[in-house]
Amino acid sequence: MPALHPDVQALLAMLRAADAQPLESLPPEAARRSYLAGRRALQPPPDEVAQIRDLAAPSPAGPVPLRLYRGEGTAPEARLPCLVYLHGGGWVLGNIDSHDWVCRRLANLTRACVISVDYRLAPEHPFPAAVEDAATALAFVAERAEGLGVDETRLAVGGDSAGGNLAAVLALMGRDGTLPQTALQVLLYPAVDLTQTSEGYERIVAGQPLTASTMRYFVDHYVPQARDRTDWRASPARAASLAGTAPALVLTCGHDPLCEEARAYAHRLEREGVPVTALHLSDQTHGILTMSRLVRTSATILSFVAENLRERWSLGAEGGRGGR
- Give the burial class of 317: count Cβ atoms within 10 A of its Cβ; 0-12 exposed, 13-18 middle, 19 or more buried: exposed
β-pairing, 185-188 vs 248-255, is parallel
| Catalytic residue chosen out of the listed positions 116, 161, 292, 298 | 161
Q: Hey, is 24 helix, strand or coil?
A: helix
Our answer to whether residue 99 is catalytic in this structure is no
- Given phi > 0 = left and psi -120 to 50 = alpha, else beta, which region is 90? left
161 a catalytic residue: yes
Active-site position among 118, 235, 256, 298: 256
CB neighbourhood size of 269 (10 A):
24
Active site residue 286: yes
Cβ pair 111, 141 in contact under 8 A: no
With CA atoms as reference, report the closest residue to 191 among 241, 257, 246. 257
For residue 174, CA distances in Å to 8, 19, 183, 315 come to 36, 44, 10, 22
User: How is residue 237 annotated by DSSP?
Assistant: G
Nearest partner of 212 among 235, 236, 195, judged by Cα: 195
For 108, residues 6+ apart whose C-beta sits below 8 A from its C-beta are: 47, 49, 71, 72, 73
Options 100, 235, 286, 292, the catalytic residue: 286
Residue partners of 239: CB distance under 8 A and separation at least 6 = 172, 232
> Which residues are identified as catalytic?
161, 256, 286
